[in-house]
Homo-oligomer: A and B are copies of this chain.
Amino acid sequence: MSGPGRIRGVFMISVAAELSGMHPQTLRMYEARGLITPQRSAKNTRLYSQADVDRLLRIQEMTADGGLNLAGVETVLELEAEVRRMSAELDAMRERAAEMERRMAAEVERVRRSSRAEMVPYGAYEARGGGPPRPAPPAPPKPPQPVRIKIVRKHHGG
């Protein structure tokens, strides 16, 4: 699933709870602890996006499988974000090194061919990446349309 709807709140709390396999009250608690921040409708109803549900599933995985508590989940989420950031930077760095090697060969070749022994300015190599390209900002706000469906609650917990 991709598209602008991924970060727009569309699920009411019962739907988000069903999708993430959690109790609605648990979702409210997570919000109170700052672990998740669903949008709110004009009538103060929580609206969970697909990204919110994904985050909830990630939290569910950490708490259920990993046995982490909420403080641990918070810390781990931050650290994982840092790891992703550094990994992306490393990839960019590697790519930049390879590019530099190519340019180096090309430059040497050019200088070799040139009878006029003129140096080229190396400031041209300052690609200055600094990070992966940011995605475009989301679409302008349209009034969200919450999903209201019939939910049959199954026995939770185990």
List the interface of chain A (C-beta within 8 A of B). 62, 66-69, 71-73, 75-76, 79-80, 82-83, 86-87, 89-90, 93-94, 96-97, 100-101, 104-105, 107-109, 111-113, 117, 119-120, 122, 125
Contact = CB atoms under 8 A, between A and B. Distances in A.
A73 B72 contact: yes
Given A69-B68, A83-B86, A86-B87, A100 B108 contact: no
Contacts of A109: 119
Contacts of A111: 108, 111-112
A26 to B, nearest CB: 17
Nearest to A108: B111
A97 B101 contact: no
Contact of A67 (B62, B66, B69, B105): B69
A109 B112 CA distance: 10
B97 A93 contact: yes
30 contacts: A62-B75, A68-B71, A68-B72, A68-B75, A69-B69, A69-B72, A71-B72, A72-B72, A72-B76, A75-B76, A79-B80, A82-B83, A86-B90, A89-B90, A90-B90, A93-B93, A93-B97, A97-B100, A100-B100, A100-B101, A100-B104, A101-B122, A104-B104, A108-B108, A108-B111, A108-B119, A108-B120, A111-B111, A112-B119, A113-B117
A108 B117 CA distance: 10
Given A72-B73, A79-B79, 4 more contacts: A68-B71, A69-B69, A72-B75, A83-B83
